[in-house]
Homo-oligomer: A and B are copies of this chain.
Amino acid sequence: MISSSSRSVIHDVVEQFVREELSLENAQIAGAVWAMLDAGGKELRPRMTLLAAAAANPAAPPDPVLASYMELIHVATLIHDDVVDNADVRRGKISTNNVHGNRFSVLAGDYLFSWVFKKVTLGYDNPVPTILSSMLSEICNGEVRQLRAAGNLALTRNQYFEIIGKKTAELFASCAEVGAIVALQHTTAASGSVLREHPSVRALRDFGLAFGTAFQIRDDLLDVVASDAALGKPAGSDLRDRKVTLPLIIALEQGDERVRAAAQDLFDPAKAGDNRALIVELIAGLRTSGGIHGAKQVVEHFESEARDALRRLPPSPAASELEALTHTLSEYSS
């Protein structure tokens, strides 16, 4: 039930926020939020928040407001991701009439973060505000590490897992954790720190971490296996941005020298320019060397880790819906 109805509920809450909080003065920020709201997307983060709550405590009423806050935090990170670095500006990728682009995106994201934190501190006791602010600092940590790892062919599998754990999985884990904690608070007076150790909260947090890790690896895989049309952006964008992801790491682990040479060429800052042919060659190499196959196996590993975590919960319709979500992770045709 939640998966079919939550979408409109969440949209209603977000719409109310935009109407009530973003005055005419802030029409620009409202516009940025709308543009970033994952209109055609699956709203996975608020769904996970609601489902984790129902799985942890079926007796608690759903909290679509908390779920919406999780989506808005995600939107704020997307707005900040949108701040292009100078290299991109120099390559002329952004429209010239977007005069206040970067500075405005920074402010819109900051506004959204601070608005959500204000609401969260008003509406939820600890540990929720602390979990969310810790999560945000972990996301930034992961993003900074990713920036520093750009073009680094020596990046190890474990370093990659650490980066995606922070930048992506942490948000899913926090959705599951705060959803579960807030639901449990309806029927227990236990303190926040005790609730964080509750077996269902631990299980749901572990589920979110494994799910989020698989989700990001799948996203990184789609960049090299999907068509431009399916992605809505050119395939191989990560490679073009010198992002080292799991298919490449595995191909390099296999000692594929053709892949290494192509990647070195592509990542050489001195050779900026039209590198479409090099990207096509590199993607072909990822396939023949087993990089793509290996990364798909790793997705399956985290998928089954996510399902193992769910088995630590009492059976419930919500837990079944969470399990159903994991089966979407190994679909690469969308």
Contacts and interface: CB of A to CB of B under 8 A. Distances in A.
Interface of A: 25-26, 28-29, 80, 83-87, 89-90, 94, 96, 98-104, 106-111, 113-115, 117-118, 121-122, 126, 129-130, 133-137, 139-141, 143-145, 147-148, 150
A87 B98 CA distance: 9
Contacts of A135: 114
B111 A113 contact: no
A129 B144 contact: no
Most chain B CB within a 10 A radius of its CB, from A94, A101, A104, A121: A121
A85 B110 contact: no
A102 B117 contact: no
Contacts of A103: 83-85, 147
A134 B114 CA distance: 7
A171 to B, nearest CB: 12
16 contacts: A26-B141, A28-B144, A80-B106, A83-B83, A85-B99, A86-B102, A89-B90, A90-B96, A107-B140, A111-B141, A114-B135, A117-B136, A121-B121, A121-B126, A121-B129, A122-B130
| Closest 6 pairs (CB-CB, A-B) | A114-B136, A111-B140, A118-B133, A117-B133, A114-B137, A121-B129
Q: Does more than half of chain A's interface fall in helix, strand or loop, or is it mixed?
A: helix
B94 A147 contact: no
A106 B76 CA distance: 12
A140 to B, nearest CB: 4
B94 A86 contact: yes
B25 A145 contact: yes
A24 B103 CA distance: 29
A139 B83 CA distance: 19
A133 B114 contact: yes
A26 B144 contact: yes
